Structure 1
Amino acid sequence: MNGDGTAADLPRVLFVGGLGRSGSTLLELLLAQSPDVCAVGEVVHLWERALGADERCGCGERFTACPFWRQVGEHAFGGWSTVDRDEVLALKDRVDRTRHIPRLARASLAPAELADVRRYADLYTRIYRAATKVTGARVVVDSSKHASLAFALRWAEGLDLRVLHLVRDSRAVAYSWGKQVRRPEVVDGEDFMPTFSPFEVSKLWTAQNAAFHLLASRASVLRLRYEDFTADPAGTVRRLREFAGLPDDPAALRILTGDDSRSARPAPGGDPEPSPPASPVRVHSVAGNPLRFSGGPLQVRRDEAWRSRLPRRSRAVVSLATLPFRVRYGYLGQRGSDSVETS
């Protein structure tokens, strides 16, 4: 808990951190099956992609036409037109960059630095508080993932911040970032998600994970492996709800597993049996995986196409460059047995 007041008075956010292509969109869609959870996607991109380019919300409407985001803007700022986007982006550049993490990790900041960080974090706190008012949810899920934003939010006044550090095998992440994926939220023209080389992904994967290890000594952080999430989606949702301070939601788990007692278990071949499809939930998400636009029922299954499709040389580069953390997370040799561990 940051700032004054009791935890019950503060907007509570479950911040999903880590490197992209690690399953955060699927995870937030599953959490959003419960009415006490509001998933808003990657809010870090709101200033450029939503306010700037008026891209589509996860509900299918353009940002300016989405009733949810209109109400959030009214509650948070008196309307989005009152937000000086250029000023926010300039503030973001001074605060929310990976290069600023060593400074944001300090025990104290100079007065001018602290003022900038808190002013930036307050923008997000207002959005989270407004989202809970509009939806009646108790927890907001922000899947922005950027470690620098998580470090900035730890300085927020009046925010109950809980961080999920989501990890996926670096080789699977490298394979995913090498594919060309169209961004369906772009309305005026065509755009694609960026692609990165195996070595670039290795550097990003290592830097982001190292940053969240550092954050764990300064904030409430829980670590989760993607592979363990897909092996036991119902158990994962239950644990994350507990971490977020929410009670069990048997109705949501029935949707996820088909009954109250069974969760997806690994099949003899090693991959989990897909859970019965959950009812689709349209979330008002800013940016994220195109999965949020699918509209079909959710299915949880482990995607391991990288094992046969990632070129041998690329696999060797990534394996060597990310070795220390792969060992730490149990990706060397057999899959680790941990499902969720506290950092």
Structure 2
Amino acid sequence: MTDAQTLTPKSPVCLMISGSGRSGTTILSVLLSQGENVMNIGQLRDIWLAWAGDASCTCGQGVCGCAFWGAVRQQTFADSTADDLRQTDKEMRQFMADANVLRDWNDALALRALADTHAAFLARLKSVVATVLRLSGASVLVDSSKSPEFALAVHLTGLVDLFVLNLVRDPRAVACSWVRKKPGKINQRIDAWTNRQKRLTGWHDIGSLHHRVLRYEDFVAAPAEHSAAVLQWVNETLPDGVFVTDTQAQVTWEDQHLFPPSNETVLAEKREQVTIAAPTEWRRMKYWPLHLRVLLRSFPQGLAYVLKFGRA
């Protein structure tokens, strides 16, 4: 964790966990949302497709019938068909594509032009976020969408004080984790890691926007310490009893309403007793060709990370 200044945020807050997949974002979001003032909204950027397909929720219902997400839909998209919802998802992805090619996210004029171009989508997003805040009664929303472009969209709604947590993991470990899940998309995953790190390191604190970096390797080494520090950053506290040891947690899923594509293994297992530990399989010799591929494709961000932190 960097020595970022502890701030007293305005209410409400959206804590966006950004970075790449396979970096512990889902379990971190669960740990951070064990208190009554913090609501875990999972990967909000996927809610329109989840509604369109009535994806399963960890509460045991489909998201359209879920006590939480079903109510959000009824108050925001009640008259929308599955095709309408898919169209909103397309509008979101177009916003993200346009934001991705925008050179400077600290340029107020450029951001205003982006917001004007995508005013319809941002109005729909604002309606969803406002409804989530109202129904949850939470002072802090935790979102693990990981995409900086989606974090920017939430920022442009003007509804929340945005805190961006860059949860960054060694790109070699990320690639080795993805190769077991989606071996045909490794280049795409490496590029996502690289592009997001470029964007996050260039997006400065402005106005109600705040940044902090948490290395995955530091988090898994001392999850209790870092979970408490992140919550302190947004003026919340980690409830007593969540961590029974420095690395073992006792969590409840009672108020968690998460849906895929958040980590499907975590969602399926819904473990109440969780041990946080760093996998070491990715360091084996057999993965060295993939390590080299990662370092070449992610240059210079990947190499800089490895030279500073890598111990393999």
TM tier, shorter chain?
A: 0.7 to 0.9
* Letter in structure 2 aligned against 1:249: L
Maintained 8 Å contact 2:31/2:251: no
1:67 is paired with a residue of what secondary structure?
Answer: coil
- Once the two structures are superposed, the pairs formed by residues 289-300 of structure 1 within 5 Å of their partners are 289-290=263-264, 291-297=266-272, 298-300=274-276
Once the two structures are TM-superposed, the CA of residue 235 in structure 1 deviates from its matched residue by 1.0
1:107-118 mapped onto 2 (5 Å cutoff):
107-109=108-110, 113-118=114-119
**TM-score normalised by the chain length of structure 1:** 0.76
Query: 1-side partners of 2:278 and 2:168: how far apart?
Result: 14
Is structure 2 residue 199 aligned with structure 1 residue 211? yes
2:14 is paired with a residue of what secondary structure? strand
Residues 242 and 24 (structure 1 numbering): CA distance in 2 closer, same or farther, change over 3 Å?
Answer: same
1:303-323: per-residue Cα shift (whole Å, max 9, x none)?
222112752211211133335
- Residue pair 1:206, 1:322 contacting (<8 A) in 2 also: yes
Q: CA deviation at 1:27?
A: 0.3
Residues 140 and 94 of structure 1: CA distance in aligned 2, closer, same or farther (over 3 Å): same
Maintained 8 Å contact 1:17/1:165: yes
Residue 316 of structure 1: aligned partner: 292
- 1:74/1:103 CA distance change after superposition, 3 Å: farther
Question: Which position in structure 2 is the counterpart of 1:302?
Answer: 278
2:138 aligned with 1:137: yes
Choose the corresponding residue for 2:214, options 205, 216, 224.
Answer: 224
**Counterpart Cα distance in 1 of 2:193 and 2:98:** 13
After superposition, what is the alpha-carbon deviation per residue over 1:244-282, rounded to whole angstroms, capped at 9, x for unaligned?
Answer: 222x2341xx22134xxxx24xxxxxxxxxx2x413425
Residue number among 286, 295, 311 corresponding to 2:259 in the alignment: 286
Q: Deviations for 1:137-163, whole angstroms, at most 9, x for unmatched residues? A: 211111111121122233222221111
Note if contact 1:104-1:152 (Cα within 8 Å) is conserved in structure 2. Answer: no
Tell me how far 1:170 sits from its aligned partner.
Answer: 0.4
**Contiguous gaps of at least 5 residues in structure 1:** 1-5, 181-193, 265-274, 337-343
1:117-128 correspondence to structure 2 within 5 Å:
117-128=118-129
Name the residue aligned to 1:269: none
SS state at 1:128 partner: helix
Q: CA deviation at 1:30?
A: 0.7
Q: Under a length normalisation based on structure 2, what TM-score does the superposition of the two structures give?
A: 0.83
Mapped to 2, the partners of 1:201 and 1:119 lie a distance apart of 30
Kindly indicate which of the two structures has a greater share of residues assigned to helix.
2
Following superposition, the deviation at residue 28 of structure 1 comes to 0.5
1:214 and 1:299, CA in 2 relative to 1: closer, same or farther beyond 3 A?
A: same
1:304 and 1:280 map into 2 onto residues whose CA distance is 28
In structure 2, C-alpha distance between the alignment counterparts of 1:323 and 1:96, rounded to whole Å: 23
1:67-91 deviation per Cα after TM superposition (whole angstroms, max 9, x unaligned) = 111222344x2x5334742542342
Q: Hey, what does 1:80 align to over in structure 2?
A: 78
The answer to whether the 8 Å contact 1:54/1:62 transfers is yes
Contact 1:15 1:143 in 2 (8 A): yes
Change (3 A) 1:101 1:138: farther
Do structure 1's residue 169 and structure 2's residue 170 form an aligned pair?
yes
Q: Deviations over 1:143-192 (max 9, x none)?
A: 11112112223322222111111101101100111113xxxxxxxxxxxx
Aligned to 1:292, the other structure's residue is in SS state helix
Matches of 1:148 and 1:316 in 2, distance apart?
A: 28
2:238 equivalent in structure 1? 249
Query: How many residue pairs get matched?
Result: 296
**Which deviates the most, 138-147 or 211-220?**
211-220
- 2:170–2:310 Cα contact (<8 Å) kept: no
User: Structure 1's 213 and 332: CA in aligned 2 closer, same or farther, altered over 3 A?
Assistant: closer
Q: Which residue of 2 aligns with 1:237?
A: 227
In structure 1, what residue type is equivalent to 2:257? H
The CA RMSD measured in Å over matched residues stands at: 2.8
In structure 2, relative to structure 1, the CA distance for the partners of 1:143 and 1:201 (3 Å cut) is same
